Amino acid sequence: MILKGDLITKSDAQSAYFSSYKGKYTIMDNLDESGDPVIHARKEIYNSEYVYITIVLRGTLRLIVSGTRIEMKANEYLAVMPCMSVTVEESRCIFFTFLTSSYLMADIYKRTNVLNKLHYHAFKFRHVRFAPEKIAILLECYKRIKREHQQPDYPRKEVVLRAYQAAYAAKFFSLIEGTERVNYVTNSRQYTFFNEFLNLLNQHHKTERAVQFYSKKLGISPKYLSTIVFKYTGMTASQAIDQYVVYAIKQTLYNNEYNIKKVSTEYNFQSQSFFGRYFKRITGFSPNAYLKQNNIKSINFEQ
């Protein structure tokens, strides 16, 4: 599997089943393989746009998520939020995977009334162990989505795909109670600083984009903050701030439809033109170009 910019391609999917609908709803699995097939190593992939969800049914899947080594065993679930890098190490397992545009997942969570249960931010991941009987239920939900992917395209296919994915999300959250979360929190002082930085970024990203602001809040130097952020993200503090801000702006653009001026003001840019240059420098396209393809009216098929 390759994420190339904001596109997903099949070129490295090995023998797995792969389907991507308009680059928004992507699934992949190797459910038809026998035994525990080999998953070949894949170099680091930077994910700026998608919520990445995978479940292992049998065997072990070895990953490195932004510097954290993860071993997924049978009946385990992993969700990786945007702005994270994912490296696949050689493994043997049976798995299935979703990749869905983050703004679409936010819309699905809202419509299934589960947003209040979670804090979904960039630079985060969640690793959970399920009972086998719960995994079997999620697998059946996945198979419904897969059958729809396999249908020839038709005018309302995206409506149905999103409905099935919403049903999957609702079922998942109905089963999450009583599961065991795999905890990666350490006593490392640097890890503590990193999480405090993310909390500050979540609070202040609409008004503050300077490394010095966050380092001062943490009581450390800008250089040391960048060292810490690089350790856990592979980016400097400045790059991480920009990626987080753009990630948040994309959500806001989606929800505010075509009102670019309002978004520019909300995120404390000195002018709309400065906002446009900032967004294009990081994403490669203008806010207006982004909105033409990604806004609440087009996604919800409104006229």
Q: For 4-48, how does the pLDDT look when each residue is reduced to its tens digit (9 = 90+)? A: 344 444 444 457 899 999 888 999 999 999 888 999 998 777 787
Q: For 172-231, how does the pLDDT look when each residue is reduced to its tens digit (9 = 90+)? A: 989 988 889 998 766 689 988 988 998 899 899 999 999 999 999 999 999 999 999 988
Q: What integer pLDDT is reported at residue 251 of this predicted model?
A: 81
CATH code of the region 189-298: 1.10.10.60
Q: How far apart are CA 197 and CA 241, in angstroms?
A: 10
Q: Can you give the residue ranges of every domain in the chain?
A: 2-181, 189-298
> Would you tell me which CATH number, out of the four given (3.20.20.70, 2.60.120.280, 1.10.540.10, 1.10.30.50), belongs to the domain 2-181?
2.60.120.280
Q: What integer pLDDT is reported at residue 112 of this predicted model?
A: 74
pTM score: 0.82
Are 110 and 270 in contact by the 8 Å Cβ rule? The answer is: no
Per-residue pLDDT, averaged over 230-241, amounts to 89
Name, in order, each residue with C-beta under 8 angstroms of 240's C-beta and a sequence gap of 6 or more: 83, 123, 201, 229, 233
CA distances (Å), origin 153, targets 9, 11, 35: 18, 22, 33
235 in helix, strand or coil? coil
